[in-house]
Amino acid sequence: MTRRRDPFHMALMTLRTYARSGMFAPGSPIVIAEEARRLRLSTTPVREALAYLYGEGLIERSPSGGYLAPRLDVALIRDRFAFRLHCLEIGLALTTIIRVPPVAETTGAPDARARMDQLVRMAGNPVLAEAFQRVGCQLHVLLEPERRVFGDIDEEATSLVAALDHGDPQRILECLRTYHWRRIDAAGALVLETEAGRLGLDLRSD
C-alpha cells in the first residue's frame, strides 16, 4: 500500500515552488485557509510550511502577524543583486585556491550560478555562505525574466565559468561585477517581466 505523502513536505514543496516562480502577486497576503483548501490539507502543515519559508527569506511577515508574498520592486532587486555581488567579492578575497571546480555536468546559466555558490563556500565562512544562499533564493524568481530580458544568458554563463576555470582573481572579479551590474541596471525591466510572466503576458516586441 502506498504511504500518503507527508502533509508538511507537500505544503512546503508546493508553496516554495509558488514563491520561487512568482505565482503569488507580490506583497499580497497569503491566506492559510485558502492555501490549505487548494492543497487539500489542514491548516497546520500549511502554517508550518509558511513559517519555514519565512526563515528561508522566500515569504515575508505582515505587520498584522500573517504572511505576505515576497515584494518585488526595483530598489529591492538592485539591493539584492548588489548584496550578492558583495558576498562574492568577500568570498573571492578569502579564498586561497581560486580555481572553482565544476559542480555538475550541466551547461549554461544554471552551472554558472552553482559555480558562484561554490566560490562563496570555498571561502570557509558558513555565515557568508548562508547569507549568499538566502539572497539567491530571493532572486530565484528572476531566472526566467532574466532569460527574456537578456538574449545571451548562455554565452554570459560560459564566459563566467571560463573565468572561474582559469583561476585569475582579477578576471573573475571583472566577470562577477559585469554579471551583477548588468542586472542592477536592468532591475526595472526584470520586475516588469516577472509580473508579465505571472499574468501570462508577453512584453517582447515582434
Q: What pLDDT score does 1 carry? A: 35
Q: Computed from CA positions of residues 17, 23, 24, 30, in that sequence, does the dihedral angle turn out positive or negative?
A: negative
Query: Cell 519565512 belongs to which residue?
Result: 54
CA–CA distance from 18 to each of 38, 42, 75 (Å)?
A: 12, 18, 22
pLDDT digits (tens, 9 = 90+) for 75-97: 999 999 999 999 999 999 988 65
Instruction: Report the alpha-carbon distance of residue 48 to residue 186 in Å, rounded.
Output: 35
Spell out where the chain has E strands.
29-30, 60-61, 67-68
Judge contact between 206 and 153, C-beta under 8 A: no
177 within some domain: yes
Q: Confidence band (pLDDT; 50, 70, 90) for 112? A: confident
Mean pLDDT of the chain: 85
Q: What pLDDT score does 140 carry? A: 87
- Indicate if 65 and 166 belong to the same structural domain: no
Q: What pLDDT score does 176 carry? A: 95
Q: What pLDDT score does 98 carry? A: 58
- Indicate if 81 and 119 belong to the same structural domain: yes
Residue whose C-alpha is closest to residue 45's, from 6, 8, 5, 4:
8
- Indicate if 13 and 104 belong to the same structural domain: no
The stretch 142-149 carries a mean pLDDT of 90
Q: Provide the grid cell at 76.
A: 529591492
Q: Is the pLDDT of residue 206 over 60?
A: no
Q: Confidence band (pLDDT; 50, 70, 90) for 108? A: very low
Instruction: Report the alpha-carbon distance of residue 178 to residue 128 in Å, rounded.
Output: 21
Instruction: Give the sheet arrangement for strand 67-68, strand by strand.
Output: 29-30, 67-68, 60-61
Domain assignment of residue 31, given as a range: 7-69
| Number of domains forming the structure of the chain | 2
- Indicate if 172 and 96 belong to the same structural domain: yes
